Amino acid sequence: MSHATLPVDDLDRNVPPYSHNPSAWSQRIPICILAFVAAVISTHLSLYQWGLIETAWDPFFGSGTAEVLKSKTAGQMYGILGIHDAALGVLAYLGDAILGLAGSTRRWQYRPWLVILFGIDVIPLGIVSVVLVLFQAFIVGSWCFLCLVTAVISLILVYWAWDEVRASLTYLWIVWQQNHDLRIVWDAFWGNRSDAIDRAAETLLSRGTA
């Protein structure tokens, strides 16, 4: 069956084991807003690290933020990455927001590559944020309030994004289980449609919710 004759299924169907559609705008818009807030915060921290502003706002830890952002550890990371960690955070959070806005409300099936790319941006960022907090506690010995805020945001983003990533990965796994053909899995990954690929999606959608 050709791509042109395949009907477009209901874009808002719930995806088991969830009782909601993980690609719905109600799921993705909060992610995008929170990611944009984190990008704004990281921009402020980045301006301080680049020396474009004299102080970084911190209502709780006073000079702690300066000690963290100008620490030897931060300098070593800059030497390795060639960019300050806060500036890297700006790019990552903006990537979260942009990727979160892209695609339809059934992109878990129609754009798995996009969902997985979104997950690659969100999930490692959450891990890195936790590592940086541990650096503050055990290496630098000071705390940065806004850094902690962005770390919390990163973990929330991971929590909110995981269900959609899981839906796409489960869908691709079902495609493989039913066909054992990497070419068909590859087509599904890029959002192509065929009878075999649509059967896999229906198998997932017919499962019971948790």
SS3 of 104-152: CCCHHHHCHHHHHHHHHHHHHHHHHHHHHHHHHHHHHCCCCHHHHHHHH
Note every long-range contact of 44-48, with CB atoms under 8 Å and residues 24 or more positions apart, other chains counting: 44/146, 45/69, 45/86, 45/89, 45/144, 45/146, 45/147, 45/150, 46/84, 46/86, 46/87, 46/89, 46/90, 48/86
Work out the percent of the chain whose per-residue pLDDT is above 90: 63
Token code pair at residue 22: 């993980």
Q: Are the beta carbons of 94 and 79 closer than 8 angstroms?
A: no
pLDDT of residue 6: 52
pLDDT of residue 3: 47
Reported as a single tens digit per residue, the pLDDT across 14-54 is: 999 999 999 999 999 999 999 999 999 999 999 999 989 98
The class that CATH gives domain 16-161 is mainly alpha
Residues 6+ apart with CB under 8 A from 57: 44, 65, 145, 146
Average pLDDT, the chain: 89
Reported as a single tens digit per residue, the pLDDT across 85-99 is: 889 899 999 999 999
**Burial bucket for residue 2 (CB in 10 Å: 0-12, 13-18, 19+):** exposed
Work out the percent of the chain whose per-residue pLDDT is above 70: 95
End-to-end, the C-alpha distance of the chain in Å comes to: 34
pLDDT of residue 62: 83
Distance separating alpha carbons of residues 153 and 200, to the nearest angstrom: 34
The residue extents of the domains of the chain are: 16-161
Residue-wise burial string across 141-153, b where 16 or more C-beta atoms lie within 10 A, e elsewhere: ebbbbbbbebbeb
Please tell me the pTM assigned to this model.
Answer: 0.86
Reported as a single tens digit per residue, the pLDDT across 144-192 is: 899 999 999 999 999 999 999 999 999 999 999 999 999 999 999 999 9
Distance separating alpha carbons of residues 88 and 137, to the nearest angstrom: 21
Distance separating alpha carbons of residues 109 and 19, to the nearest angstrom: 17
Token code pair at residue 151: 């770390």
Mean pLDDT within 2-23: 77
DSSP symbol at 9: P
